[in-house]
A and B are shown apart, each in its own frame.
Chain A
Amino acid sequence: MMPGKLAKTAGFLIYAAILLILVPRLIDSYERWDLYYTLTSVALLSIASAGVWLTFFIGRINIGQAAYALIGGYVSAVMVVDHGISFWWTLPAAGLFCAVVSVFVGLPILRLRGVYFAMVTLVFTEVAKMVALALPITHGASGIVNIPLPGALEIFGFTLIPDFNTLDNSRRGFYFLSVVLMLICFLGMYRLVHSRMGRLCFSLQQNEELASSIGVNISYLRIVAYAISSFLGGIGGAIFAAISQSVYPSSFAVADSINFMLNCFLGGLGYVFGPMLGTFVLYFGWDWLFQTGKYQLLIFSSILIALMLVLPNGLLSIRLPGWKKNG
């Protein structure tokens, strides 16, 4: 056991070092600043996708994550712009707000399964957009713009994170923020999935009836998993709003919900780090195809279809078919 654990820890540290030291160095020396933005996006989207993955893990197809990303974005934006609260406080607030909303949404709809749950969550994505259009606090279709960059985070006079306005490259700041959060998020997910709670979630995925007959409170567990998922969606959305310094009702739409799901799937549903890989491949693939101009979507979707035909069980299914192997 111990050597395996050690190897995993080492692997994780190396991975973190690559992301936090090597990648920024390379970007800086080649002056490819645009890559900061791309990688930041990947990190944030994979946080939201990790949430979707968790709902997959309890056996629910979640096409509603864009709704929580949108809610998270708005919560943070409204707090920062209209109430002048520091971004660093709005970030957890956005996540928690989403988690609370998800409890109320989840109570009725988590009873649904299969495509039924999928369809309702898809509709929920539309609902979120329409609420954003209708409510006065979200400023309707014009959205919230000119969101100031995050200020400094100080605790007892000690500056933990500098004011993003003072950074010579705020993109770099967002990159570090997002990557660190992504690493924390996936570390947490890994821990969760490999703890007893993960096994309980897995038991739900396989057989809810049996799970409840051995005494598992399935509705509670479903809500907890869904709330965590929505929390992650809210966090991702909030940072996105901060980076783009704006949020509109269409910032996160149905297509995003579907993409989150695609990310998970592409990476492989049986593997915790699947969403990270899936997001990376999908986002970079999409970005890279930009040079094909108007054929971008055509080629992209053709590749997706081809991938489904060749690997109907996801990218990582080549070497990680089941749950057991990632233990």
Chain B
Amino acid sequence: MADVLTIDKLTRRFGGLYAVNNVSFNVAENEILSVIGPNGAGKSTLFKLIASFLRPTSGEVCFKGERISGLAPHIVARKGVVRTFQETTIFRNMSVRENVIIAHHLQSRATLFGYFMGSRNARQDEQSFGESADDILQLLNLDHVANELASNLPHGNLRALGIAIGLATNATVLLLDEPFAGMNHEETMRTVQMVQGVRDRGVTVLLVEHDMAAVMKISDRIVVLNFGEKIAEGTAAEIQHDERVIEAYLGIEDESIGL
């Protein structure tokens, strides 16, 4: 499998503090790769750097061999790297279906003026987006709440909607920020299935997560950060037996790693 994302010596400094320090790893096509680490390890900063919401102090991120660091976020999204958010960020005052439809923005062929005039492209767009949205909503079990206002959704569905939005962008690489946070076991397992469903559609998934059980279950490979540095990389089995990882987690959340 070819690498879609190459993270090369990525560094981001805030004042004197290294939030991300000299981190390098690759993401292969169609894999699920998780980034884990104790609180404050720099996971969220790493995500922002990859999606180009932040500029790296040094180092770079390449997507299919092309440098994407430093580009505007919407350009990075256009190339195929899309980030969903840690907070349950959605368009609150739109219906669930509208949320997903609008996320198809990148596939639109009509211009703004075309939409205004209702050109043929615009009408075709509307129709295909609608169909695709229904498809996605079904995949993520959201079809029964499609016409609800997004702000009225219960917590678990919100997360699913976030993933649906990411999926609708037709991204090559989807960055999921803590998709399991605040969920009970049952919800987590359902979301794990969802993420696997996403991958089965050919999407490469990069996720940041606290929930070790879910991460171990879902990930093809895992990257471990501590104090901004990469301390380990490998399969779930390898990570579980890595001394530095155990050390980093000891006393913090030693039971949650499932040792």
- Interface, chain A (partner B; CB < 8 A): 191-192, 195-197, 199-200, 202-203, 206-207, 209-210, 212-219, 221, 224, 322-324
- Select B74's contact among A191, A196, A215, beta carbons within 8 Å: A215
Q: Are A217 and B74 in contact (CB under 8 A)?
A: yes
Which secondary structure dominates where chain A touches chain B?
Answer: helix
- Select A324's contact among B74, B105, B149, beta carbons within 8 Å: B149
Q: Are A196 and B95 in contact (CB under 8 A)?
A: no
Is residue B89 within 8 Å, beta carbon to beta carbon, of the partner chain? yes
Q: Are A197 and B82 in contact (CB under 8 A)?
A: no
- CB B250 to nearest CB in A, in angstroms, measures 36
Q: Are B85 and A210 in contact (CB under 8 A)?
A: yes
A–B complex contacts, Cβ < 8 Å, 9 sampled: A196-B115, A197-B116, A200-B105, A202-B93, A206-B93, A213-B77, A214-B165, A217-B74, A224-B112
Q: Are A213 and B82 in contact (CB under 8 A)?
A: yes
Q: Are A196 and B122 in contact (CB under 8 A)?
A: yes
Total A-B pairs, Cβ < 8 A? 88
Is residue B54 within 8 Å, beta carbon to beta carbon, of the partner chain? no
Residues of B within 8 A of A212 (CB): 72-74, 77
Residues of B within 8 A of A195 (CB): 115-116, 118, 122
- CB A227 to nearest CB in B, in angstroms, measures 12
- Select B91's contact among A196, A210, A322, beta carbons within 8 Å: A210
Q: How far is the CA of A209 from the CA of B90 in the complex (A)?
A: 10
Residues of A within 8 A of B89 (CB): 207, 209-210
- Select B78's contact among A191, A202, A203, A215, beta carbons within 8 Å: A215
Nearest chain-B residue to A224 (Cβ)? B112
Nearest chain-B residue to A322 (Cβ)? B93
Q: Are A196 and B125 in contact (CB under 8 A)?
A: yes
Q: Are A206 and B116 in contact (CB under 8 A)?
A: no
Residues of B within 8 A of A210 (CB): 85, 89-91, 165
Q: Are A192 and B116 in contact (CB under 8 A)?
A: yes
Q: Are B115 and A207 in contact (CB under 8 A)?
A: no
Q: Are A323 and B93 in contact (CB under 8 A)?
A: yes
Q: How far is the CA of A210 from the CA of B73 in the complex (A)?
A: 10
Q: How far is the CA of A202 from the CA of B93 in the complex (A)?
A: 9
- Interface, chain B (partner A; CB < 8 A): 51, 53, 72-74, 77-78, 82-85, 89-95, 98, 101-103, 105-106, 108, 110, 112, 115-116, 118, 122, 125-126, 149, 165, 168-169
- Select B95's contact among A203, A215, A216, A324, beta carbons within 8 Å: A324
Residues of B within 8 A of A216 (CB): 74, 105
Q: How far is the CA of A200 from the CA of B53 in the complex (A)?
A: 20
Q: Are B102 and A214 in contact (CB under 8 A)?
A: yes
Q: How far is the CA of A190 from the CA of B108 in the complex (A)?
A: 21
Q: How far is the CA of A196 from the CA of B118 in the complex (A)?
A: 9
- Select B92's contact among A199, A206, A213, A217, beta carbons within 8 Å: A206
Q: Are A213 and B94 in contact (CB under 8 A)?
A: no
Q: How far is the CA of A213 from the CA of B78 in the complex (A)?
A: 9
- CB B213 to nearest CB in A, in angstroms, measures 28
Q: Are A202 and B94 in contact (CB under 8 A)?
A: yes
Nearest chain-A residue to B73 (Cβ)? A212
Q: Are A199 and B98 in contact (CB under 8 A)?
A: yes
Q: Are B169 and A214 in contact (CB under 8 A)?
A: yes
Q: How far is the CA of A215 from the CA of B105 in the complex (A)?
A: 7
Residues of A within 8 A of B72 (CB): 212, 217, 219
Residues of A within 8 A of B85 (CB): 209-210, 213
- Select A199's contact among B77, B83, B94, B149, beta carbons within 8 Å: B94
Q: How far is the CA of A213 from the CA of B89 in the complex (A)?
A: 11
Interface centre among A197, A202, A210, A218 (most CB of B within 10 A): A210
Q: Are B102 and A215 in contact (CB under 8 A)?
A: no
Q: Are A206 and B91 in contact (CB under 8 A)?
A: yes
- CB B113 to nearest CB in A, in angstroms, measures 8
Q: How far is the CA of A196 from the CA of B126 in the complex (A)?
A: 8
- CB A289 to nearest CB in B, in angstroms, measures 36
- CB A190 to nearest CB in B, in angstroms, measures 11
Residues of B within 8 A of A209 (CB): 53, 85, 89
Residues of B within 8 A of A214 (CB): 77, 82, 102-103, 105-106, 165, 168-169
